[in-house]
Every structure is written in C-alpha cells, then in structure tokens.
Structure 1
Amino acid sequence: MKWLMAPDSYKGSLSAVQVAEVMVQAVRDELPGAEAIGLPLADGGEGTVDALVTAGGGEKRFVEVTGPLGLPVRSYYGTIGRAAVLEAANLFGLPMVPEADRDPLCTTSAGLGDAIRAALDADFAEFIIGLGGSSTNDGGIGMLRALGVIFLDRSGNPLRGYGADLAEIASVDFTGLDPRLAAARITVACDVSNPLLGEAGATFVYGPQKGASPELCRRLDEAMAAYADKVEEGRAPMRNEPGAGAAGGLGFAFLTLGAKLMPGAEVLEAYVGLREKIRDADWVITGEGRSDGQTLYGKLPLHIAQLARESGAKAILLSGSLGPDSERLAPYFAGCFSIAEGPATLAECMENAEAALYRSTRHLARLIATASG
C-alpha cells in the first residue's frame, strides 16, 4: 500500500513541510515498512517557497529587501532549476506587521520588486510568485516602483510606493521598467478571483483584515480606481480580470507586466509533478488549517481530491479543524477529519497541533489497514 502525504500548511501552527513530515512518520510508526512519501504543498500563500523548494529539490537564496513598513528585512526566495520562486507572505506578510501598526496606507509591496531584481541579477528569467497572505493594499505600486516604474504627484514629485500614495498619483511612467522583464516569464499563483475594484475587490474584501475601516476602504477603492485609469491608458482593461484584486491589487500590477495568473494548486501541479505522484499512490492524505465551504472554491485540498479521483486513488482530508459547510466536502473525499481533540481554546489547539496530527494520522492509518484486510 502506497501513501502520499500532500498537505497545505496548518496556518499559524505548522508549515506544510512540518505537516507532511509528521504524517509520514505517523504512518511509518503505525505500519512499519509502509511506503509513505511526503509532498508538502501550498496554493500561493505562506509556505509556497518552502513547499516548492522541498518538492522540487531546489534551494533557498537569502536577500535583504524592503519590509512592509519600509525598514530592511532579511528574507529569501527559492530556486527550482532555472525558475525563481517568490512569495508575498515572507516579504511583507500580514504577521510581519504588528496588529497595532496595521494600516494599509502605511505598507508597501516594494520588497517583492527588490526580490525580483535580485533574482534577475542572478540570471533568472522564469518566476513563480505566490500572492497570498500579504499585508499591503497599494495596488502593487511599491513593487512596480522598485522595478523602475515612476509615479509622480501633481507637483511632479516622485511617490514612494505606499498605500497612501494611490490617492496622490498624477502620472505613471513605465519607460524606466527594468528591461530584463521583457524576456521574463512570470507565473503568479493566486487562489482568489477577486477583481481590483468594488465590493468584491481587493480593498473591500481584504482591506479590513489589514487595518482599514469602512470609510478608509471607500477612499482607498476610489484611489485605486484613479490609479487603474492612469495605468490602463493605451492598454487593454485589466481591472476586472480574475485575480486582479489579489494581495491588495498586486494581481493587477502583475497583469501590467504580462504575467499569467493561475490558481495556486495548478501551479504546484505543473512544477512538482503532482499528478504523476498521485497516480502512483493508493491513499492520499491532504489537509489545511481549517476546511469549510470555502475549500470548494479552488483550494488545494479540493484539487488534490479531484486528481486522486481521476487516478483511482482515495483521498482523505485531515485538517486542523472543520468549519461551516464542511459537510459539502464529503462527496470529494473518502473521509473528512479534524485533528482537534476535545474542548480546547484555539491557542491550545495550535500549541498541540503536532501531537494531535501525529495521533490522528496513526488512527487513520490503523483504520485503513484494518479495513483493507
């Protein structure tokens, strides 16, 4: 019997790499001699670089970039062959901004532009970029400015590339854009389909978790619309493309660079040979921090289940918790389970996640082995 452990991270408690390692160890301890393989995954958010580097046998390269509040931070990007892998979450992720300091007017995506330039300097021309988990709502102007785009205010002064600058943009000049990007191939892993503007757009949907009040959301959305008007002059409209609103409008910025936006699960599938690995397994265990009705909208575990069904493997969902409408996932999996054990606070569950995951995986392995005779 062959087992494939292909989880996302349990956000806030265990990385995808840790989840896969615990699952593999639990199966091997319960069923000595079992063939169990770990394949940590991510859908564009936190852990995308680590998951791809681990699954693809790549490496990390450390860089100093501009952090979300403008101060230098040490981060890294990954490499797989001739592709550079970057993620917003480890450059200007929401946890990098203290809760008391969260204000989308005062954060910037410049760090992603810095990291892209570093990878270009290292002769990379293919990029895989995950957009989940950002702290910014600057429309991507911080990243574009770091790559050479010039934003001027009404007095002709250059803007720095923060969320507050969206309302001050009088002109946009792309002529200084790093010329190496013209030959670059950029694939963006994006697990949301929001447009840039409006009630379903970047600001109104994701701005509140980044510190925006309802009134600030309204003002930011208006400023984002004016910014889009200037960027789209002489171009095909991009603001309504699925994913344009990802990461506070970074999806829109990447569309101006000719990037291809794809669901994160599909990006992972292409770069780690996911379909082939699932085809070779009898049982596939996947999971995430919390599974609920939103998992049906292109999240990684659902994609795993669909690939397993196509290949004849059986998929099990083992997540940190099961939330509202999780019963809708039942048709896609041989079973849906949570590692939570008894009454406990969220903090207690997260603190004990590794032990609970280990025990739950052993229980599942024992059940499956017994039922299989």
Structure 2
Amino acid sequence: MTGSRTVVVAPDSFKGSASAAEIARAISVGWTSVRPDDRVVPAPMADGGEGTIDAFELSIPEATRIPIVVQGPAGAQVATSWLLLPSSAEFPGGVGLVELAATSGITLLDELAPLDAHTLGFGQAIADALDHGVSRLLLAIGGSASTDGGVGALAALGARFSDAQGRPIRLGNRGLGTLARVDLSGLRALPDGGAAILSDVTNPLLGPSGAAAVFGPQKGANEAQVLGLESSLARLERLVRTARPTVRGTTPGAGAAGGTGFGLLAWGAVLAPGADAVGAALGLPVLVAAADVVVTGEGRFDAQSAAGKVPTYVAGLARSAGARALLVAGTIDADDVPFDDAVSLVELAGNAADAMADPATWARAAGALLASRIR
C-alpha cells in the first residue's frame, strides 16, 4: 500500500493497564513515526465496561460530566460522575450515560468481596440522572464487583426486597439468601426515551455459563461460594418472575455484571450489544467507511473476543468498508485471529510484566511495526 492513507485507530481499553484513549494515542504516534503522510484518526472505543464514559467524553465535546457521591460497592463513599450527552430534537433532556465501573466497579475495592459487594451506588447515579431530567439512559454495566442481581441498583430506584419478617434484606448476594418478597411497584419510571443496557456479555443469569459460575471466581468467590451465589440468584429469579412474568434469567445478557443485566431488564431497560451501541453513538461506522486501514485492540484477545467485544466489532466494520483490519493486543490467545495483521505487546516486550508496566511505549512500537508492514 503506497501513498497517503486514512487510518482509524479504535481500540478498547487495556483493562488494568491503560485507557482506550492512551492506547489509541500511542498507536497513532507510532504509526505516524513511520508513515508521516498518513491521516491518522484516533477513535478510542468501549463496549460498556470501564472507560465507556471516557470514550464518549473524548468523542462528544459537548458532553458534560455531572459529579456525584455514591455508596461504593463495599459501602465507602465514592466521588464519581455520570455523563450528560447534549440534547436533541429526539431527546430534549439529553442522554445520561451511567457507568457501573465508575460507581460499583471491581476496581473500587481494596479487597474483593464476592458475597457482600453490591450495586447500590450504580442505582444512585441512575437516580441522579433521572432527577436531572434526562430523556434517555445508556447504562454501561461492565467491570462490576458484585453478584447481587442488580438488587442494589433497583433498591436505589425504589424497589423493595424483604425477608420473611418484612425487613429489608442486607445488600449484596449474601442478602439474597434471606429474600422472601420482591415489590417492584415503587420503581421509578423509565425516561420517555427508555434505557439501553450496554454490555458485551451474552451469559444467562443461571447455570454453568451464568453469572455465578463464570464471573464469580473473577470476583473472589471460591467453589463453595459460587454455589451459594448461584442459589441466591435462583431465589431472586423466582421471586422477580412472580412480579414480572416476562422477565427471564435465560435471556442472553441477563447474567452480565453479576446479574445486573437481569435486574435492569426487570426495570424495563433493554439490552444492546455494547460495542455496537457505543460505536453507533460515537459515529465510528462513518469514520471507518472513509478509512483505508483500521487498527483496533484490547488487553487480551481470545476466544471470547468474538462475542461482541470491540476488536471483532471494529473488524466487521472494516471488512464492510473494504479497509484493512489490524490488531494490537496485550496478549493474543486465539486460534482464529480475523485480522490482516496482528501484534502482541507481550511478544514485543518479551514478557507480560514489562508490557503491562509501560503499555504506551509498547503500543507505540506496535503502531510503528504495523505501519512498516503495510504495502
């Protein structure tokens, strides 16, 4: 490939290592160092997890962060924010983007709390957006700390969860073990434009591919605790279905964020593939349509990356546009890598520790290497 080309750089964050904006900037700098005449367009992406607010804020200059203090996943107060997207004819009150990772996320914990972490703060931030008068909600639910089925969030929105004596249950999955009654009649109304759940997870609520079995260990649960988490979620599902017969734990995505997907479905929100919804909102399809080359990435590209994660979504856009699709990942652990070229930061650095210690340096090197191989 010769001559000047348009290159769109649209990675996800490298979770726990670098933001999507940092990685996009580093790859862009590396690329330009080799092909200075190319038009390089950084377009950091997200899939509904950590960094979703950052991606929107960078791409929509008129967006405004609304500061708020909420109860974090372990009870301590957390100073955070949600994002108000500008008003339009369709949504005159604007659109509120609330990120679970920023309110009830696992990175907010000093120690993992698989039985007691909760989503109350996420619900408090949603309530604040409703108080602000938003016309629509985007609810990014990746990066959760808990397996509470979204009960904390729903409680903050007016639902009542009580034990056999009529007392409110304690927060977290542990409290679900005493749940006897679910009353959703006090839930706040959805905004007129509804609420979309942004998630890259298709797991159901229960079973071997459910919230407890798959994600419980990531949140610190041992084998016995996973069984308890599952039992409590099953109790919650039975009782919620009494109040909302059409809401089912078998719905793909109901198991997202420790079952928060299920809880939000019971409120009336609808699931939207995270990367697709974020990409559409940020105008990525339009950018890619004009590109010759598209570079995407994430911290770990593996078999699960095909299930709605950013790189697979971006590669699909590139193929539709007739552009080359390139991948930069911290590690690549997949038999099928559907890209024209791919670079692993771990391979460049020689080991995972060095790659994670300075991801920007190695992402620049990856951008330069990919640019040098373009013909």
One-letter amino acid of the structure 1 residue matched with residue 56 of structure 2? L
One-letter amino acid of the structure 2 residue matched with residue 290 of structure 1? R
Are 1:328 and 2:340 counterparts? no
Instruction: Name the residue aligned to 1:253.
Output: 263
Superposed, which structure 2 residues align to 1:128-143 within 5 Å? 128-143=138-153
Instruction: Name the residue aligned to 2:76.
Output: 71
SS of match in other structure, 1:155:
coil
The alpha-carbon distance between structure 1 residues 236 and 118, as it changes in their structure 2 partners (threshold 3 A), is: same
One-letter amino acid of the structure 2 residue matched with residue 89 of structure 1? A
Per-residue CA deviations over 1:262-297 (Å, capped at 9, x if unaligned) read 211111122111111100111111011111222222
Are 1:91 and 2:96 counterparts? no
Deviation at 1:333?
1.4
Superposed, which structure 2 residues align to 1:335-346 within 5 Å? 335-341=341-347, 344-346=350-352
Instruction: Name the residue aligned to 1:209.
Output: 218
One-letter amino acid of the structure 2 residue matched with residue 15 of structure 1? S
SS of match in other structure, 1:319:
strand
Distance in 1, matches of 2:309 and 2:247, equals 27
Per-residue CA deviations over 1:344-363 (Å, capped at 9, x if unaligned) read 44332111211111122122
Superposed, which structure 2 residues align to 1:1-373 within 5 Å? 1-57=5-61, 58-81=63-86, 82-98=94-110, 101-179=111-189, 181=190, 183-234=192-243, 235-323=245-333, 325=334, 327-329=335-337, 332-341=338-347, 344-368=350-374, 371=375
Deviation at 1:155?
1.2
The alpha-carbon distance between structure 1 residues 54 and 182, as it changes in their structure 2 partners (threshold 3 A), is: closer
Per-residue CA deviations over 1:16-54 (Å, capped at 9, x if unaligned) read 011111122223333334211111001111111111221
Aligned residues: 362
Aligned-CA RMSD value: 1.6
One-letter amino acid of the structure 2 residue matched with residue 32 of structure 1? P
Deviates more, 1:313-322 or 1:22-31: 22-31
Structure 1 consecutive aligned stretches of length 4 or more whose deviation exceeds 6 Å = none
Instruction: Name the residue aligned to 2:89.
Output: none
Distance in 1, matches of 2:213 and 2:97, equals 29
Give yes or no for contact 1:53–1:79 (8 Å, CA) kept in 2. no
Identity of aligned residues (%): 36
Per-residue CA deviations over 1:130-158 (Å, capped at 9, x if unaligned) read 11111100111100111111111111112
One-letter amino acid of the structure 2 residue matched with residue 286 of structure 1? T
Give yes or no for contact 1:145–1:161 (8 Å, CA) kept in 2. no
Distance in 1, matches of 2:350 and 2:19, equals 21
TM-score between both structures, scaled by the size of structure 1: 0.93
Deviation at 1:339?
2.3
Distance in 1, matches of 2:207 and 2:274, equals 24
Distance in 1, matches of 2:201 and 2:126, equals 22
Give yes or no for contact 1:104–1:138 (8 Å, CA) kept in 2. no
TM-score between both structures, scaled by the size of structure 2: 0.92
The alpha-carbon distance between structure 1 residues 190 and 342, as it changes in their structure 2 partners (threshold 3 A), is: closer
Deviates more, 1:15-24 or 1:333-342: 333-342
Give yes or no for contact 1:3–1:36 (8 Å, CA) kept in 2. yes
